[in-house]
Chains A and B, each alone.
Chain A
Amino acid sequence: MADETRASESSSGGDRPDRGERRPSSRPGGPGGGREGGGPGGRKYFRRKKVCKFCVEKIEAINYKDIRLLAQFVAESGRIVPRRLTGVCTPHQRRLSLAIKQARNIALLPFAGRAA
């Protein structure tokens, strides 16, 4: 899931010059890399700038019925993955978390743990 975001970023890097320019100056002391990999010694690796999946892929509608989309932002434990790990921008994270909570209420997503 995280790889998907990165792949789309690199492919669309051509028509988004503003993102491309910002990438080399990614913060040196920022939190660890992606969700997978990275690790505590993240400083050694090249850290790609995380981008909001919804902005890059121009997904406007975040609906509680779209479980396949929402599941990408829910951890194994059922937790909503924080922005700092997924790179989702604040307006989208707000709507995302609302949709996830609605999906939880109608038993489409679990409150805790894997779907039974």
Chain B
Amino acid sequence: MNRTYELMFIVRPDMAEEEQDKLISTLETAVAASSGLVKSVERMGKRRLAYTVRKFHDGIYVLLTVEGGGGLIHELERRLRVTEPVIKFLTVRIDEEQKRLDKIKAIKDAKRKAAAPVTPAEVAGEAPAATA
């Protein structure tokens, strides 16, 4: 049961860098404990929130991409919920969307390969129109 999820969470804007590191590393250990895999950690920095959340107008966004089962996500969400500086979080499953995109890309590549030797002029004519 290997699924890929994106965990985006917002921590309070006044949270220190070291504390963020600590929080992220605890989440990483939790992932490892559930035999999951952290694919990437991205700090998106401080952003203005679209609406006030717990009386905050700004927040520090962190994006975590993990691989694992539903139980792992359950545990991570529980942890985020009890971690006081985390003001909001969202989990999105991305593997199926990624699969769909890969499929489309594969079809596109196959088409391009098939079309290129026969009519290179047509492809060349198409390319600028697509980028315009």
B-contacting residues of A (Cβ < 8 Å)? 8, 11-12, 14-15, 57-58, 60-61, 64-65, 102, 104-111, 115-116
Q: What is the CA–CA distance of A64 and B129 in the complex, to the nearest angstrom?
A: 27
A107 touches B132 (CB 8 A): no
**A64-B92, A102-B92, A106-B8 given as contacts; is B130 within 8 A of A58 (CB)?**
yes
**CB contact between A116 and one of B57, B126, B132 (< 8 Å): that residue:** B57
Chain B interface bracket (under 10, 10 to 19, 20 to 34, 35 or more)? 20 to 34
Name 16 interchain pairs, CB-CB below 8 A, sorted by A. Answer: A12-B129, A12-B130, A12-B132, A15-B125, A58-B130, A60-B104, A61-B97, A64-B90, A64-B92, A65-B63, A105-B90, A106-B8, A106-B88, A106-B89, A109-B50, A115-B48
Which chain B residues border A64 with CB–CB below 8 Å?
Answer: 90, 92
Give the residue of B48, B52, B90, B97 whose beta carbon is less than 8 angstroms from that of A106. Answer: B90
B residues apposed to A, CB below 8 Å: 8, 10, 47-53, 57, 59, 63, 88-90, 92, 97, 101, 104-105, 125-126, 129-130, 132
What A residues does B89 contact at CB under 8 A? 106
* Residues on the B chain within 8 Å of A8, using CB: 132
From A12, A15, A102, A115, B50 is in contact (CB under 8 Å) with A115
Could you tell me if A104 and B129 are in contact, using CB atoms closer than 8 angstroms?
Answer: no
Least Cβ distance of A18 to chain B in Å? 15
Contacts of A12 in B (CB 8 A): 129-130, 132
- Looking at chain A's contact residues, the main secondary structure is loop
Q: Which residue of B lies closest to A64 (CB)?
A: B92
Closest to B122 in A: A15
**Centre residue among A14, A107, A108 by max chain B CB count within 10 A:** A107
List of B residues within 8 angstroms of A14 by Cβ:
129
List of B residues within 8 angstroms of A108 by Cβ = 47, 50
Asked if A15 and B129 make an inter-chain contact with CB atoms under 8 angstroms apart, the answer reads yes
A107-B10, A107-B50, A108-B50 as given contacts; A11 in contact with B129, CB under 8 Å = yes
Contacts known (A12-B132, A15-B125, A15-B126); A60 close to B101, Cβ less than 8 A:
yes
Q: Does the CB pair B104–A104 fall under 8 Å?
A: no
Q: In the bound complex, how far is the Cα of B50 from the Cα of A64, in angstroms?
A: 14
Are B92 and A107 touching (Cβ within 8 A)?
Answer: no
Bound together, the chains give a CA A61 to CA B103 distance in angstroms of: 12
Chain A contacts for B57, CB-based, 8 A? 116
